[in-house]
Structure 1
Amino acid sequence: MIFLDEKQKIAVLKKLIQLKTINDHETQAANYLAALFAPYPQAKVQRLTYAPGRDNLVVTIGESGPILGLSGHLDVVAPGNLADWQNDPFIPEIRAGKLYGRGAADMKSGLAAIVVAMLELLAKKQPLAGRIRLLATVGEETGEYGAAQLTKAGFADYLAGLLIAEPTDGFKKLIYTSRGVIDYQVISIGKAAHSARPQFGINAIDNLLTFYRELKIRFAKFTKIDPILGGITHSITKINGGEQVNSIPSKAEMMGNIRTIPAYPNRVFYETMENLINELNQKPGFKLSLTYSFPEEAIFGTPDSPIIQTAQKVYQRLFGHPVEVTGSLGANDGAEFLQAKGNFNSIELGPGSQTSHQSNEYVEINTYLQAIEFYQQFAIEFLKQQQ
């Protein structure tokens, strides 16, 4: 089946949006995409289960040679307050050339564009100078553990290059570097007492605040500025503690988010926080513990790598103007895939708008269709360049 009909291309995206893969249930989307490749026995379809109902999907086309990875994630975030939507977020609706629905921007439009591009290459029996591998992952929105699992299993080993189809401002930006992320939690254990007699207790909130104040001082030494990404950021995003207003709190917890840059490997932040925890725990009354949630390293890239040059060339040819080459403040699955064996570069280029995680999330229909054509031409051109 050759996807020459725009309605058919749009139908793939609509179907993906209808599947409620809210931080879970990605197998529904994996099943649908696998079925699209079923008419083509030359497509190698593989699954890797993360948990019940959560399947990563890998589809490889082409007979032999270097492999270009094309990646998108199957999960979406929750829609939030439904009253803020003009339509049901899981019943996609087209208005004024825009398709609205949860995941329309982040990033089922990018994923659908990759899939349709690969299906058209198969249907047209397009000769390839290598192979194309779809890496469709679970859990990107909550920790990129699908990409980590695929990487550990070897599916990203020795790629020639990797394209992540995350939204890049309506396909206007070509991303080659991005910030990393560290989510952490600190728990403080104290001792309850009546607030009229605080000397008989240990205030877990006070101890937590002591940690936070000192951590800000120590993080202030990380002063390097990346010319594209800027400096590091550190935000406290959640605090909880205490039992009631007239009791000394026996427990308090804090969650923080650090956005890193290539100049500072994540380990320097781990060391800083762990050293501080150890120092404070040597003091009377302190009992602090620290845990991390799926930290990701910053992606270091070069703006003149071969994959960037090929993408720029194809983009100029298709759109008649150059693409902006820049960086991203957010993390993506590339941080995990780049830990695979071999030495390859990744780029980020996708059709979604700047409405990711918002109500009334949308993608421009024309941008989505243009992305399909770009991915085809880019894959053909990039694999030729590997010979």
Structure 2
Amino acid sequence: MSATLELTCELIRRRSVTPDDAGCMELIAEHLSPCGFTLERLDFADTQNLYMRHGTGAPLLVLLGHTDVVPSGPESDWRHPPFAPVIENGLLHGRGAADMKSGVAAMVTALQRFVTRHPDHRGSVAILMTSDEEGTATHGVARVIETFEARGEKITWCLIGEPSSFDRLGDVIRIGRRGSLCGTLTVHGVQGHVAYPDKADNPIHRLAPALAELTAEVWDAGNDCFPPTSFQVSNIQAGTGAENVIPGRLVASFNFRYSTALTEADIRRRVHAILDRHGLRYELDWRLSGAPFLTTGTTLIEATQSALRRVVGQPARADTGGGTSDGRFVAPTGAEVVELGPLNGTIHKVNEAVPVADLDLLSDIYENILVNLLVA
């Protein structure tokens, strides 16, 4: 069993459901401390954050990942127990196999080989791990970056091991992500008996025309790097549970995944204009999960593409799709950010799995990127 596969299995065995690290960071530290990495814990509230660095000067390359996983759901739905790694038909099964414990393991083994072979590399290389990427991410990388900024520690390049690949390892890299803006809308009506609608005001009926307009709105056409902005309603709650009562209020949750063609302020203004046009009595609470970002610098992208050509024979397609990642906290500091990791077809699903053959290849790709940036 290769070192990367063995470490991936050890990480999967740790039931690190967000924000519980379940000992993953201790395991990572055990592997990297003997290689000369300094260790710093930057824990906040219920979130654990591990920062290990080799070198003291600039430029600084940070390999970024997370040890937490989403819940497995009913374990009876899984072919194999989700936290007991099993290899079957060339696939390693387990919660976090793809998102993102194989990426974490590949980073660790790549770092071990790199600093052993190149102990006098230029600049610094570091690994940053958080136990809350899958949850609210309030006390994870966002707080660590605040700490870095306060002490003047600047990341030059950030390589994130999120599962970016679609059909084969390394066919897609993320060079940016859409923004994520959440809204919680409360529409006020007047509760009453369904037989006397003239004495009530149904907030469901009130919202329906406005909601139709919101869903039909063309928010933008996207641009060369991003798809068009998407508006999606995720939850609607109203009513008492009785079939003869008109509800007095409705609460709806929605999300915008938006491109750099729009700003957060643009979206808020246009949503309020639509709601106001329909005469709703409402309250609307906004939460920005992350602004869109795009890496325009070429150094990290070129180093990554060169490594892919060397290890898998061809470069990747640059993309900005998918959900959010912790890159949204790093990019605003001026760092170049690229995401490259294993296949993402089973992430967050029952029977999550990753091809075993990809694990050592991914570790080799990471090591080649390190060489391209800090040695070549």
Q: Do the two structures share a fold, i.e. TM-score over 0.5?
A: yes
Deviation string, structure 1 residues 21-60 (Cα, Å, up to 9, x no partner):
22221253223322333334x31211222323x2011111
Gaps of 5+ in 2: none
Give the C-alpha shift of residue 197 in structure 1: 1.8
- Does residue 1:49 correspond to 2:43, yes or no? yes
Deviation string, structure 1 residues 99-129 (Cα, Å, up to 9, x no partner):
1111111111111211222223344463211
Give the C-alpha shift of residue 349 in structure 1: 0.6
One of 336, 348, 360 as aligned partner of 1:357: 348
Question: Percent of aligned pairs with the same residue?
Answer: 25
Question: AA paired with 1:22?
Answer: V
- Does residue 1:160 correspond to 2:145, yes or no? no
* Alignment correspondent of 1:308: 301
One of 224, 245, 252 as aligned partner of 1:247: 245
Task: Tell me, in whole angstroms, the C-alpha distance in 2 between the residues paired with 1:193 and 1:99.
Answer: 56
Task: Tell me, in whole angstroms, the C-alpha distance in 2 between the residues paired with 1:324 and 1:123.
Answer: 32
Deviation string, structure 1 residues 181-210 (Cα, Å, up to 9, x no partner):
222221223332111222322322223334
CA contact (8 A) 1:67 1:161 kept: yes
* Alignment correspondent of 1:171: 170
- Does residue 1:290 correspond to 2:284, yes or no? yes
Task: Tell me, in whole angstroms, the C-alpha distance in 1 between the residues paired with 2:303 and 2:33.
Answer: 31
Give the C-alpha shift of residue 334 in structure 1: 0.7
> Once superposed, what is the RMSD of the aligned Cα atoms?
2.3
Deviation string, structure 1 residues 150-169 (Cα, Å, up to 9, x no partner):
12122695221111111122
Question: AA paired with 1:76?
Answer: V
Task: Tell me, in whole angstroms, the C-alpha distance in 1 between the residues paired with 2:250 and 2:37.
Answer: 53
Task: Tell me, in whole angstroms, the C-alpha distance in 2 between the residues paired with 1:335 and 1:22.
Answer: 22
One of 70, 79, 82 as aligned partner of 2:72: 79
Superposition pairs for residues 28-39 of structure 1, below 5 Å?
28-39=23-34
Task: Tell me, in whole angstroms, the C-alpha distance in 2 between the residues paired with 1:257 and 1:79.
Answer: 24
CA contact (8 A) 1:76 1:102 kept: yes
* Alignment correspondent of 2:323: 330
CA contact (8 A) 2:164 2:341 kept: yes
Give the C-alpha shift of residue 279 in structure 1: 6.2
Question: AA paired with 1:352?
Answer: L
Judged with a 3 Å threshold, the aligned counterparts in structure 2 of structure 1 residues 324 and 276 are, in CA distance, closer, same or farther, namely: closer
Question: AA paired with 2:113?
Answer: E
Paired residues in the alignment total 369
Task: Tell me, in whole angstroms, the C-alpha distance in 2 between the residues paired with 1:189 and 1:105.
Answer: 44
Matched residue of 1:273: which SS? helix
- Does residue 1:378 correspond to 2:376, yes or no? no
Matched residue of 1:209: which SS? helix
TM-score (norm 1): 0.87
One of 331, 337, 341 as aligned partner of 1:346: 337
TM-score (norm 2): 0.90
Give the C-alpha shift of residue 9 in structure 1: 2.4
Matched residue of 2:294: which SS? coil
Task: Tell me, in whole angstroms, the C-alpha distance in 2 between the residues paired with 1:26 and 1:266.
Answer: 33
* Alignment correspondent of 1:3: none
Matched residue of 1:295: which SS? strand
* Alignment correspondent of 2:234: 237
CA contact (8 A) 2:171 2:315 kept: no
Question: AA paired with 1:232?
Answer: T
CA contact (8 A) 2:65 2:130 kept: yes
CA contact (8 A) 1:181 1:298 kept: yes
Question: AA paired with 1:259?
Answer: R
- Does residue 1:148 correspond to 2:142, yes or no? yes
Task: Tell me, in whole angstroms, the C-alpha distance in 2 between the residues paired with 1:252 and 1:22.
Answer: 32
Task: Tell me, in whole angstroms, the C-alpha distance in 2 between the residues paired with 1:190 and 1:99.
Answer: 53
Task: Tell me, in whole angstroms, the C-alpha distance in 1 between the residues paired with 2:289 and 2:268.
Answer: 10
Moved more, 85-94 or 198-207: 198-207
CA contact (8 A) 1:171 1:367 kept: no
Give the C-alpha shift of residue 250 in structure 1: 1.4
Superposition pairs for residues 215-294 of structure 1, below 5 Å?
215-216=214-215, 219-220=217-218, 222-243=219-240, 244-276=242-274, 283=279, 286-294=280-288
One of 89, 99, 115 as aligned partner of 2:108: 115
CA contact (8 A) 2:170 2:308 kept: no
Give the C-alpha shift of residue 332 in structure 1: 1.2
One of 51, 60, 69 as aligned partner of 2:53: 60
CA contact (8 A) 2:3 2:109 kept: no
Task: Tell me, in whole angstroms, the C-alpha distance in 1 between the residues paired with 2:199 and 2:158.
Answer: 59
Task: Tell me, in whole angstroms, the C-alpha distance in 2 between the residues paired with 1:384 and 1:10.
Answer: 27
CA contact (8 A) 2:51 2:127 kept: yes
Task: Tell me, in whole angstroms, the C-alpha distance in 2 between the residues paired with 1:133 and 1:279.
Answer: 52
Gaps of 5+ in 1: 1-5
Task: Tell me, in whole angstroms, the C-alpha distance in 2 between the residues paired with 1:125 and 1:306.
Answer: 20
Task: Tell me, in whole angstroms, the C-alpha distance in 2 between the residues paired with 1:188 and 1:133.
Answer: 48
